[in-house]
Structure 1
């Protein structure tokens, strides 16, 4: 099927994912998240950002409060961000990342059904309360690092860690959100044979010298190279257009 979006279509298909009016399916895995829009009570808009509008909603059968993130499908760039976010959250099993309940196609937008965090963003909390006590900051930092550690174990980089993408709730939980520019770590030397060991790519480069094939094994850290994210919170590597892999930890004040 065509990966481009067609207005009025019954489904949006991109790679292994298919998003319909009732849910999202990852082909070949048997996994699906079904969200029936007719079972949702739509509430107020609770946020607007570069990636989309967020609306508070209630799932009537379960009583669960959701945050519906609406992404305009007529914008190609937004479609690419949508798929990165679904890839990052579809099979996530980390308590420090917002829970993904599903997605559905509605008119010219896709609605991502995400966990509602009633404390809002860390940015808003700091604006309202000012400087936070050290013990609270330590707790927040610990949970952020747990989320980053999980992403690292999945060979993923968030690439836009900042206060507005860190959410809190009244239970004291802290969770990362907005994975629209998240990506997988990859090797920067090109299309060669690799496998991963202890977060390093073992690269096997096969060259031909005097008609003899020689395999050379090199250990290179998995890295990214794209210039993306929020400039104010960028690490030195990204500002200098250098490959990076520790960018999330440095954005969080770790080095």
Structure 2
């Protein structure tokens, strides 16, 4: 007879919680049981956080609590800022969602989550290259947070959902990189479905143009390469069927 063992590590539980939460979030969005009207990033983040909280509560032990917070403000120490001095790291960083297990005030395990939702046709939709820069910057921060255990963070997750197909098949700076070797393409291309066969989220340094004329080029450094696997779903919009695209990137956990 097989013995049941529910004494799982927090790391394993977080993995199950977020996998189920992401699948639930996507399914409910596609079925339009959530977010059928309001479509903005803050609303998406709140909805996703609510699902994480509901599912996470199923995994707590009697002496534990599962927590979910929005817009967590963390301080980046001077030593980290100095270490990444070429990459304009800020002293303060707001994380879209944090979740994990705690006993009293003692954090047992904590995950940092960034969820980005660039929406085509939104009047507040920023330029494609700038949004791609923000995405790469979020990935860099998630690496820094988990690698250095900032604010007790052990791992990170990055999620993106969009109805703009350009994020799946078009890198920013593709043309600029041909004429200026300073720049590399910034993209989230699926190498199996992209004509260029470029996985442009390989580790290394990429550059973004200066904030102001004559300013310094903004740099981003990724310590890891990431596998890109987009998912696609059709959703009935107000006037026509829309294609939506979903992406999850897992940031490596800190070494024990």
Task: Answer whether TM exceeds 0.5 for this pair.
Answer: no
Higher helix share: 2
TM range (shorter): under 0.3
Higher-RCO chain (CA-CA 8 Å, sequence separation at least 6):
2
Return the TM-score normalized by structure 1. Answer: 0.25
Question: Which protein is richer in strand relative to its size?
Answer: 1
User: TM-score normalized by structure 2?
Assistant: 0.25
Structure possessing the higher radius of gyration over alpha carbons: 1
